[in-house]
Amino acid sequence: KQRGVITHSSGNHAQALALAAKLLGVKAVVVMPENAPPVKVAATRDYGAEIVVCGSKPTDREKAVGPLIERHGYVLIHPSNDLQIIAGAGTVAYELTQEVGDLDFVFSPVGGGGLLSGTATAVQGLFPSCKVIGVEPKNADDAYQSLRAGKIIPVKNPNTIADGLRTSLGSNTFKIIKEKVDRIITVPEEEIVDAMQFLWEKMKLVVEPSGAVSLAGVLSKQIDLKAKRVGILISGGNIDLTDFFARMRQTIEPTK
């Protein structure tokens, strides 16, 4: 408690750790990439965390964290590869199954793999016949490539609007996903935007790209879900809508 905690994250984990540390009276330092959405940076700072900005590459985060730990003695709370974080993420799927019962499929976003690992562990522990599907952007498909190769293939230059999914799998998450996840599918950027639009228009939910990617996987029809009971994990609503849709129009519209 006296040493303080540190993590690296572009948003959701950053805010969660910042709030938990504030409630417990612990200093929190969060390393965030320079291209993190301003709304996420502001929210993390508002929860009381000290923000340290690093480069935009996934490897820049780890490089920035190491020296800070050596200098100040902070305790690292990894955003995805920590077993306790994975267990905590699994409570989302546990609560889902407690509310709706048995499911045939559960779709979850995958970036660093913490949420997907926890989901697979919880769901298959309760309902072994339920298939767990991970969904990630086609432009940041390291989980898909890693499972195909049988080893971790780090993401190098992920160019996706789903900023929360620009990280690579870790040793713990890769092992769990390899053992418990049935399939990883990928979706293009325009389908992520379509899923966000669907959630807003049909359900009045404001969801960020990283959270909407699981619905995009369902809507892509890569898996036959006819007459199946399907659970979809939608995580994250940190978005500046005006800025986002302006940038998305520039990104996905054909160059004239």
> What Å distances lie between residue 114 and 84, 87, 95, 184, 250, CA to CA?
10, 8, 17, 14, 32
**Whole-angstrom Cα distance, residue 77 to residue 214?**
25
Please give the pLDDT value at position 249: 66
Question: How buried is residue 98: exposed, middle or buried, by Cβ count under 10 Å (0-12/13-18/19+)?
Answer: exposed
**Across 190-232, where does the E strand assignment appear?**
230-232
153-170 tens-digit pLDDT: 998 889 999 988 999 999
Domain with CATH 3.40.50.1100 in the chain: 5-76, 83-245
Q: What is the pLDDT of residue 253?
A: 60
User: So what's the pLDDT on residue 36?
Assistant: 87
Distance CA 171, CA 114 (A): 11
The CATH architecture one would assign to domain 83-245 is: 3-Layer(aba) Sandwich (3.40)
Please give the pLDDT value at position 214. Answer: 98
d(CA 107, CA 85): 19
Q: Structurally, what CATH architecture does the domain formed by 5-76 represent? A: 3-Layer(aba) Sandwich (3.40)
- Strands (E) located in the chain: 5-8, 28-33, 50-54, 75-76, 105-109, 131-137, 183-187, 230-232
Structure tokens at 153: 């293939």
Instruction: For residues 242-255, give the mean pLDDT.
Output: 62
**pLDDT of residue 248 exceeding 70:** no
